[in-house]
Amino acid sequence: MTWWISILLGLTQGATEFLPISSSGHLAIIRKIYESVTQTTLENPQFYEVLLHLGSLCAVFIAFRKDVAELCHGFLSLFSERGRNDEAKRPSRRLILLLVIATLPMIIGAILQNQVEELSNHLWFVGIALIGTGALLFVADRVKPGKKSEKTARVSDAVTVGLIQAVAVIPGLSRSGATISSGIMRDFDRQFAVKFSFLLSIPAIVGATLLKLIEAVSDGIDASSLLVYLPGVFAAFVTGYLSISLLRRMARRGRFGAFVYYCLVAGVVAIVLNFTLT
């Protein structure tokens, strides 16, 4: 891997991991174009993927540092009688419960991912999934704004969003787009839907990172390539943070329309590339 490919993949990972436009779909398109032009196979070393996930994780922690701090305080309050009786920490403790419940279906997601990973090699499928992401966002944009937050969201809401996140391991289907849309359809306040989606991404990213780390250790870690990997990791962190900030601003305005059209166009492009690139 060259440094410019490392940066390109990092930029793509950081931007598309959090914007509702599917990181897996865009990485599949880039890989297909690269391999068609260079006639060589583009493989991401497992260790590089671990570092990219860590860069993305840092972006979430920094962007939602206040929310993460509140969750930590809410969790620690469970271990003292005074904390358990503190009404001010009740919303944080309730949000923790909702996140835990929504994370459980990722066990199904992990099983599904092993079954569907090969589909990323078929751009026609990726294209259809991207169009599906656009359709989800289109419907969510037209749902009447809800008012649910961590204080009023139900367990059934968390289960629904968690199941959608599990299904979103399908290449081309955006995890953030699917979870935000499903939250909005469950009457979440739009800003809460975005916050819940990104906080829910933390255990998902941690789980994926651990799995990739185990694979990287078994394959052997090439520390000599760190100088090539690090620019890509930094690019993933910066674009990830900027992407989260952009999406939060759009949530305040209440519309994700631009991403609807982007996903539709990207889906059509992917389908066309499937039949034109060799």
Is the Cα torsion angle 203, 208, 209, 213 positive or negative in sign? positive
Q: Is the pLDDT of residue 17 over 80?
A: yes
User: Could you give the CA distance from residue 82 to residue 59 in angstroms, rounded to a whole number?
Assistant: 33
pLDDT at 132 over 90: yes
What pTM value is reported for the model? 0.88
The answer to whether 136 and 21 are in contact (CB under 8 A) is no
The DSSP secondary structure of 154-207, one letter per residue, reads: -HHHHHHHHHHHHHTTSTTS-HHHHHHHHHHHTTB-HHHHHHHHHHHHHHHHHH
Q: What is the pLDDT averaged over residues 29-47? A: 78
Q: Tell me the average pLDDT across 35-48.
A: 75
Q: How far apart are the first and last CA of the chain?
A: 22
> What are the strands, taking DSSP E only, across the chain?
none
Mean pLDDT for the stretch of residues 265-272: 94
pLDDT of 58 > 70? The answer is: yes
> What letter does residue 214 receive in the DSSP assignment?
H
What tokens were used for 58? Answer: 């840092």
Q: What is the mean pLDDT of the chain?
A: 87
| Phi, psi angle pair for 253, to nearest 5° | -80, -20
Q: Cα 41 vs. chain centroid, distance in angstroms? A: 25
CA contacts within 13 A on the Cβ side of 275? 7
d(CA 24, CA 73): 34
- pLDDT tens across 177-235, in order? 999 999 999 999 999 999 999 999 888 888 878 877 787 777 777 777 778 889 999 99
Say which residue, 255 or 272, is predicted with more confidence.
272
Residue 145 three-state SS: coil
Residue with token string 């009740």:
90
85-110 confidence digits (pLDDT tens) = 667 678 888 999 999 999 999 888 77
3-class DSSP assignment, residue 100: helix
Highest mean pLDDT among 31-35, 108-112, 114-118: 31-35
Q: Are 60 and 244 in contact (CB under 8 A)?
A: yes
> What CA–CA distance (Å, rounded) separates 200 from 255?
21
User: Which band of pLDDT confidence, cut at 50, 70 and 90, is reported for residue 129?
Assistant: very high
Q: Cβ distance 277 to 30 under 8 Å? A: no
DSSP character at residue 148: B
Instruction: Please give the structure tokens belonging to residue 190.
Output: 């739009």
